[in-house]
Amino acid sequence: MKSSTEDKVKGSFHEVKGKVKETAGQVTNNPNLEDKGTAEKLAGKVQKKVGQIEKVFEK
């Protein structure tokens, strides 16, 4: 698997995982967990963008 595809897949995984943590933090009224989820979701979006940019440069 090319690194760009791998980054996109991992980024999507981290986005979903972050969203789950964020929602769990909201439901349990745990702001720490909610913040961790938000941060992980953002990191996933960044990693996904890196994968998209790498794909452009591979061409």
Per-residue confidence band for 37, with pLDDT thresholds at 50, 70 and 90:
very high
What does pTM read for this prediction?
A: 0.84
More confident residue, 54 or 23: 23
More confident residue, 5 or 37: 37
DSSP state at residue 30: -
H or E stretch at 2: none
pLDDT value for 59: 66
Say whether pLDDT at 2 is over 70: yes
CA dist 13 → 16, 26, 35, 39, 53 (Å): 5, 20, 17, 13, 18
